[in-house]
Amino acid sequence: MSSFEDADTEETVTCLQMTVYHPGQLQCGIFQSIRFLNREKLPSSEVVKFGRNSNICRYTFQDKQVSRVQFSLQLFKKFNSSVLSFEIKNMSKKTNLIVDSRELGYLNKMDLPYRCMVRFGEYQFLMEKEDGESLEFFETQFILSPRSLLEENNWPPHRPIPEYGIYSLCSSQSSFPTEMDENES
């Protein structure tokens, strides 16, 4: 028997690709501690935290507007399924987290859709999951976007959340300003 025949079968690994954007990303060095484009392999039992405290968070943002722990991601497997999923939890007492159009308050959590927009303050994360077979590990990969993900992906308009407030998701679309040409009546 050759070593090729004895070798373990290589499993594919679930990967969460995160494309990130912040309007001040070039001037402020907000994402300087994040390694872009490289895939990072993590144990499936790890709860991945994002925030500004480097002692607690795996991924940190150099921004005092960000909570010490802003949000977390945890891998899980649904009953009767072989597919791994992520759950996202808002860990910030000050700022709500928006996942697509759902607003999560402090300690609220939800299953992360395969493709979704996650926002808080002026931060935008386009999260896309690639399924894999491994139950032992998963990977993360970051991509820096040069422009707003909301505009690039035709997401609904972003309405900033006040630091200590909540906005209502019930308002009508007509409350948004409409751009008009000077000659239009």
Residues 6+ apart with CB under 8 A from 9: none
Residue ranges per structural domain of the chain: 13-144
Average pLDDT, integer, range 168-180: 34
Residues 102-116 have pLDDT tens digits of 999 999 999 999 999
Cα dist from 113 to 12, 79, 82, 132, 174, whole Å: 20, 17, 16, 16, 28
User: If you ran DSSP here, which 8-state letter would residue 65 be given?
Assistant: T
Q: Distance between CA 45 and CA 29 in Å, rounded?
A: 30
Residues 126-152 have pLDDT tens digits of 999 999 999 999 999 999 999 999 877
Burial environment of residue 156 by CB neighbours within 10 A (0 to 12, 13 to 18, 19 or more): exposed
Quickly state the pLDDT bin for 4 (edges 50, 70, 90).
Answer: low
Average pLDDT, integer, range 75-79: 92
Query: Out of 3.40.50.720, 3.30.70.1400, 2.60.200.20, 1.10.3720.10, which CATH number does the structure's domain 13-144 have?
Result: 2.60.200.20
Closest CA to 136 of 67, 50, 11, 44: 44
Flag whether pLDDT at 173 surpasses 90.
no
What is the structure's pLDDT at 165?
44
Tell me the residue type at 16: L
